[in-house]
Structure formats: structure tokens, C-alpha cells
Structure 1
């Protein structure tokens, strides 16, 4: 496969999240073509017209497309779904978003055999699990954005506390992208030095920090109605990992064989999607949180997997 083989990206759902992703893809110039697909064709056409005015900054072509065309894209990003309501947990979105996912994937068939499908809609872990089944693609080619954004939020918070660049911080939020997510403190480090050994981290309230990171999305929703810039940036970073075969390691919604569920673990990403899933050192309490998160997700999947 040539390095430019993954050059056509389809964005399904052109609301705030989808259009932000398309715009960021344009600015990054990492795809030859971005296809815009929406259940409301007029909205996708309007986004095409608006985004085309940004071509002064980009050589990426953005255009309206049908759902069938999207099925033949190299990277398929599914953002289509109902918005999360204030006070609503991600798992409560399942009834409203599963039908949308099933219809979208069904309408795309036949899907390009080597396409990589990225689920951004919530609840991302559960919808990724179903997308792996509904698409007919190998599991490694279907993954979700998972706790990548949560982990980015954590690193920004820690960088401000430690006064170091967030890129120097290696720390991850794992498990469910939602209520049962947890921070892997045991493996977190800066330049190889354990994070918790820094004086600035002495006597921290781990649970308070976990809640702060997990609750940031709802804080934003309360203030402005929805979140889209952060997830758009993360999604485009993942697209770049695929298109340029960068082998970045990110905490993503992937199927974890030993847990029998799709949830966020560190995963290597390249041309073919997920190339490897890594275990990370966890404390005893973190291991318990991992299993509890997995159990919670399995219960949901079993309930709706009919």
C-alpha cells in the first residue's frame, strides 16, 4: 500500500462535530478529498459551500456525497447521532443512537473491504462494539475515539499543574468513555519519572481529578450546548495516524479480548487500523476499576445485543 492510499475521508453527519472535523481536515491538508454526508442533504450541501470558501488555506477538496459513496472511502468517520442532553449519561443515548448507526452502516453497503471506520458518536464504546458487528469489517478496522479526548484533557490539566509541556506527559484515561472511566496513575510519568513522585502531585485527590476530567464535557454542554472542537482535533489526529501510517499509540475504543468488550486501551494505529493493543501497568485498585468498567459495558451490550 502506498503512503497516500488512504486519501479519501468520509464524514457522516455534518452537524457541529462533523463540520468541525471536516474543517480541521482541510486545515491539516492530510486528505485529498473529504466527503460530506448527512440525513439532511441540504445541510451537507450548505457545509460544502461554506467549507469551499476555506480553500484559500487548503488543497483538500470537500464535497457533498451520497451514503453509498461514503462506503467506498478509505476512512469513514461516523458522527451521526442524537446530541447528548444535559444530565444524560452516555449509555442513555443507546436507544436513540443505535437505530441511526444501523441505518447508516446498512445504507453504505457494500463497504470498501480495506476501509477504516472510526466511530465518534456516543456512547462510543457500545456503538463501536455494534459497528464492528454491523459493518462486516475486521475488528481492527473499526474503532472508536474512546478516551483519547479525556486523556488529552487530563494531560492539559497536569501540564498546568506541573508547568511542563503537555506533550511530555504520559498519562491516560482508560475504560469506558463515560461514568466508569478511570485514570491509570500507576503508569503515568514525565520523562520516565513517575507522575505521583512529583512534589506538585503530593496529597492530590485522585477521585476529584477523575470527576473533573470525566465531567468536563457536561460542563461545556451546560455553558454552550455541545462540544465539538476538542473531539474534532482528536479525530483529525487519528485520521493523520491512519493516512500517514504514523503508528501513534492512543487510548481508543477497541475490542479487548481478555475482557470480552470494547473499551479504551492504548492502541497502535496505522494504515490498517488498530495494529496492536497494549496492556499497561495498573495498581490493584486500578485493575479493579478496569474490570468494573468492563463489566458495566458488557451488561449494556448484552442488554441491547438482540
Structure 2
């Protein structure tokens, strides 16, 4: 059976996802789409030049939405990292990315695509909601990477304190992929014990670790002005769970009927997208934080959907014309 994936937006993150897909042989056919034609064509040629030295072959097409009709999965990496650098926050992209996503969603719908849509584009939860509403795809077929990355950053932070492998830390960050997300410490276990017990024994400051998970991308952004490898790893992890029908438990952004919006909470993921939800035994404080995070997402989504649809313009033109509007969003959500 042929496996086919489309990636829309082949910038730092989209290209890193494409690279992982190609070198691991995760898919047979890969459709790359980007408004920067020269760049995406160059990436495709670069990947094709790598084929002779790889153990598997991937067929690559460029800038053809018709190729998405029979794709198993589409990954949306649409965004503008240049706008993030203005304020170092995810919500700085909201004007440009929401407008771009509305245009892309219409093209996806017109292509006849009926597979699984994975959203990286920031702010992730809101863009996932826009895609689902405008494509008309079933809610369980549209997911955002959400706090899958934030959970990994929490695992890295905890593991570093204990000098162990991050994969030895289990547990979740929940809520928005943004500043209102939080580490649900009631879910975290390490060294065979709940994290609270280990924290008392080893003198760990859980508040500091929670903050490190939240702002992990900030450190990367300061160093190289974009993030790509960790989010690409999270994306390919989610993609592979879909393609292999793995039935893996993952904290991704998914539609939660109790909040009537998309928010990150662990679900079982397989070939049909979100298969079933889990039921965490959260503390009262964690339940309150989750509800507050969901409310933030829902409120922002309503505001963004009321913005008029602009023409598809170049990144620089859009950034300049909407810079004042972006700066008025007065939020503190850190970078990817």
C-alpha cells in the first residue's frame, strides 16, 4: 500500500519534517507546497540528490494541490518566523498565519483531500480550529501537535536534573501550545515514583521545571532565531502513529466537547486520527488551569475568525502592513 504525505509550508520546520520523512523512508510519495517556488524546488532537488545514498526512495512532487487528493496525511507548517522574531511569541504570527491558513484550507478542500490533517502552524490550537472549520474535515481527522513538544521539553528538563534519559520521564503538559499551558504534575512519573515524591527526595523545584518547559523554545530562538528540530521530531512521531495505525497515547491538540474547542489532552492516535480519549485523574487546580487555557483559546479563535480575509501577499508586505496590529495583541506566548 502506497503511503502519501503532503507538507504545506517548507520553511525551517517544514523542511526539517520533510528531511526526517525522507531519510527514514516513512512515506513513498511526498508532495511539497510553498509560496516560495524557488526555495521549495531547490529543496526538492536537494532531497533527490540524497536518494542515491539512502536506503529507501521517496517520490517528490512540488506545488501541486491536486496531489493532495489521495494523500493519507497533510502537515501544515504554514507560518512566518520573521514575525515571531519581532516579539518572540507565538501569537505574533496570528495575523499572517490565520490569513494564510484560511486560503490554504480552501485549497485543501477543493483538492478533495479526506485524510488526516496535522497542524504545526502557530498559534497551533487556533490554526487547528480554523482548518477543521473551513475544510469541513471530521474533528477527529484534524489534530495539532499541541503540547506534544512542550511535554518533551518537560521530560528533558526533569531528566537533566536527574541525569537520566528523557524517555524515562512520563507525563504531560496540557492546554494551549502557548503561555497558558502547564505541566500536569499529577501525571508525571520518574524512577518508578510520582514526580512529587522524587522532587521531595532530590530537592527539585517543580515550578522552575514547569517554567522551563513553557519557555524552552525561547532559548533556542535566542540562539539561532528559529526552532525546527524538536518540533519536526514531534510532528514525525505523530505522523508515524497515524501512518502505522499505532494506537499511541499522545498529548495533541484535539477537539474537546467539554470546552467546545481544540486543546491539548492525551488521546489515542491511529490511522483514523483521534481514536479515543483518555481520562486523566487531574487535581482540582489542574482542572482549573485546563479550563482557563481552553477559554483563552476559544476567545482568541472567535476574535481571529472575525478578521477580514486578506489577499495572499508576500511575507514582508504582510508583516509591514500588520505590524501595529500584531503589537497590540499584548500576549506573552513564547516561540515554538
TM over 0.5: yes
Give aligned pairs, total: 302
Asked whether the 8 Å contact 2:248–2:270 carries over to 1, the reply is yes
Asked whether the 8 Å contact 1:86–1:218 carries over to 2, the reply is no
2:57 counterpart of 1:59 = yes
2:297 paired residue number: 297
Matched position secondary structure for 1:252: strand
Structure 2: tracts of 5 or more residues without a match? 307-336
Larger CA deviation: 157-166 vs 25-34: 157-166
> Hey, which bits of structure 1, 4+ residues long, moved more than 4 A?
199-203
The CA distance in 1 between the partners of 2:126 and 2:201, in whole Å, is: 34
Q: Deviations over 1:136-185 (max 9, x none)?
A: 11011111010111111111222222333322321111000001000010
Q: Deviations over 1:98-150 (max 9, x none)?
A: 11001112123334453100111100000001111011110111110101111
The CA distance in 2 between the partners of 1:201 and 1:301, in whole Å, is: 43
Asked whether the 8 Å contact 1:114–1:272 carries over to 2, the reply is no
Asked whether the 8 Å contact 1:244–1:270 carries over to 2, the reply is yes
Alignment of structure 1 residues 120-269 onto 2, 5 Å: 120-190=120-190, 193-198=193-198, 202-269=202-269
Q: Root-mean-square deviation (CA), in Å?
A: 1.8
Determine which of 77, 95, 101 is the counterpart of 1:79.
77
Asked whether the 8 Å contact 1:221–1:227 carries over to 2, the reply is yes
How far the C-alpha of 1:291 sits from its partner, in A, is 1.2
The CA distance in 2 between the partners of 1:280 and 1:48, in whole Å, is: 43
1:25 paired residue number: 21
Matched position secondary structure for 2:146: coil
1:49 paired residue number: 45
The CA distance in 2 between the partners of 1:66 and 1:150, in whole Å, is: 33
How far the C-alpha of 1:200 sits from its partner, in A, is 6.4
How far the C-alpha of 1:79 sits from its partner, in A, is 0.4
The CA distance in 2 between the partners of 1:171 and 1:31, in whole Å, is: 29
The CA distance in 2 between the partners of 1:166 and 1:201, in whole Å, is: 19
The CA distance in 1 between the partners of 2:44 and 2:69, in whole Å, is: 19
The CA distance in 2 between the partners of 1:88 and 1:295, in whole Å, is: 23
Q: 1:26 to 1:200 in 2, by over 3 A?
A: farther
The CA distance in 1 between the partners of 2:126 and 2:178, in whole Å, is: 11
The CA distance in 2 between the partners of 1:199 and 1:85, in whole Å, is: 35
Matched position secondary structure for 2:275: strand
Matched position secondary structure for 1:171: strand
1:91 paired residue number: 91
Task: Give TM-score, length-normalised by structure 1.
Answer: 0.93
How far the C-alpha of 1:233 sits from its partner, in A, is 1.1
The CA distance in 2 between the partners of 1:263 and 1:274, in whole Å, is: 13
Asked whether the 8 Å contact 2:174–2:181 carries over to 1, the reply is yes
Matched position secondary structure for 1:186: strand
Q: Deviations over 1:82-108 (max 9, x none)?
A: 112253432332211111001112123
Matched position secondary structure for 1:146: coil
Task: Give TM-score, length-normalised by structure 2.
Answer: 0.85
Q: Deviations over 1:219-238 (max 9, x none)?
A: 11111010001111111111
Structure 1: tracts of 5 or more residues without a match? none
Larger CA deviation: 197-206 vs 55-64: 197-206
The CA distance in 2 between the partners of 1:143 and 1:199, in whole Å, is: 33
Matched position secondary structure for 2:26: coil
The CA distance in 2 between the partners of 1:265 and 1:231, in whole Å, is: 17
Q: 1:150 to 1:86 in 2, by over 3 A?
A: farther
